[in-house]
Chains A and B, each alone.
Chain A
């Protein structure tokens, strides 16, 4: 789906995640999504390879003696070549260790979006600062914003956790806690009547689980991720070492998230006074394994946070939640 092929689109939402970039649009009353892996892989140049890629319509760029395959196909090529994919982002922001991060991010974005001639509203997600740190996210946000500006869009940004709230908590008048468990970060936002009153991120998420498990098992992180997405679930008995290890690191990640919430709530003084229980919505690819919600609820109960959740649920469409929230923000601003 290329958005210009669709009619009547005056706003788009984009979840710019460490692992995937997801585009959301509303066509009539329907929400439609398209995602690309936010990754790339380089292969040696040959005319024949280039021809094959062109014939197969695999998104790629020729860069001197290399061919760069980016987006969804990078996973398959990395697996074929037994190498790790390269990432344009790390822990929610542009990857400082990747010299081609900006150029490749632009390419991946361009494979989802066309430039526009008339100003069209675009809202993209940005992470919150890590808990306890005052990390400068300005550079990341300004650089990504520039990519969209250059394509002709009227650009806004939205905190990723707030995007979850806008996507899922309409029924509570956008009051509650949105949590996005992605590749690089877990983003948390407490919203009160659509106003974000507290937000932060935890730098342990899907990538942390993959790389930690890869170290233990000797697998490549990329393969661990694929195995995790294919078959991991909680509350089961695993004969396989990889599944056991994944369970251990998943628990550690959830524990960090819960303790982070506890710390943030204990120190925040600008939270609205309300006796009303708050709903919690979990989203993102890392929250998808079966049993994740129950494990999170158990640890949250044990941590004795200063509020009672009215409900804890997984988002209706966890992979697209943040993109949809960004789209709703864009539409509200259009």
Chain B
């Protein structure tokens, strides 16, 4: 589409009498329109299409990379499900200034870049069709390259009392935590006890934050979220019950950081989740291998919907189970999501005339096929590099 003038397409379409044929023609030709509402692009931005083409060519020559054979994103099949596009409202946030190692944003966010440690670049990562269940096409995923969501973590590091007398100790521990997460490329961002935001791994790179993990939005199912989701860690320890795990300064920082990232990468609210919600253990096929932010993540205070009530796709899409330990670690809000996921799986099993255990076995097999494919691709990339 971008190479064919819009007026030509419109004129040609008008010559087609049959409404179905006309629609077919437009769907083939009409991609994302050239004349979108956008600010004037800078030279740097103009370079992006060229870089994208170059990156695509490099990717196509990379063993293990397979361009999706699915129809382009602008065709009906894939686009009909992104129906909420543009309605998940995010405040406008922009970079006001960048001086030395400090970025200042229009919503008050300040990001300290002094400890940034680049890691492996994010290249294309596969996503699978959401809601397809056992019919997921493992061999033909869609490939994406932009961050699709955020996973919130806790560092589970030592905690000094949050008082003025402990200031020196608080700072010392904070510095040590930065050192550890920097060395391990653990997260993209760290929010320390004073609410200061540090960029650890650039967003263009992969951070080792999510491990075996699963999440899904309306159209896409993500497996192993290191590449697809950004990681934000709070310097804190998970507290049980209603005791907040983060202090007000951290919550405020998380809110404005989340606003900036959602605005920058068009991340939907539903893809802002906690590590406990996405973490899985393939060895025993149970959810909640990690339980950080399992029960009291302040979704609402951070300006998000309460995503605890969303059914974990690990359960309904891949047949994972949960045990008493996980239930003990979670709060009532997450139980709703677990129950809903369980219900969904039962309904899907019944719809296929299968028992729950039969259906679960099929889903688990599908997950293992995906995992094997991901590992094979990873091995191929390692060999290549």
Measuring CB to CB, which residues of chain A are less than 8 angstroms from any residue of chain B?
102, 126-129, 131-139, 141-143, 145-147, 150, 156-159, 162, 166, 170, 173-174, 189, 192-200, 263-264, 267-274, 328-329, 331-333
Contact = CB atoms under 8 A, between A and B. Distances in A.
A180 B36 CA distance: 25
B156 to A, nearest CB: 29
Contact of A332 (B13, B24, B36, B310): B24
Interface stretch (B52-60, B80-88, B174-182, B321-329): B80-88
B148 to A, nearest CB: 13
A193 B20 contact: no
B237 interface: no
B358 to A, nearest CB: 16
B27 A194 contact: yes
B131 A145 contact: yes
B107 interface: no
Contact of A270 (B9, B14, B85, B218): B85
Nearest to B82: A196
Nearest to A265: B86
Contacts of A274: 35
Contact of B86 (A127, A192, A198): A198
B270 interface: yes
A265 B384 CA distance: 47
B311 A139 contact: yes
Contact of B77 (A139, A146, A333): A333
Given A271-B37, A273-B37, A332-B27, 4 more contacts: A132-B89, A137-B83, A157-B80, A195-B32
16 contacts: A126-B83, A129-B218, A143-B347, A150-B351, A157-B80, A157-B81, A166-B19, A170-B22, A173-B13, A195-B31, A196-B85, A264-B87, A267-B86, A273-B36, A274-B35, A331-B20
Interface of A is mostly: mixed
B133 interface: yes
B352 A139 contact: no
Contacts of B32: 195
B366 to A, nearest CB: 15
Given A147-B351, A332-B23, A199 B85 contact: yes
B30 A193 contact: yes
A199 B83 contact: yes
A195 B311 contact: no
Interface string B85-97: 1111100000000
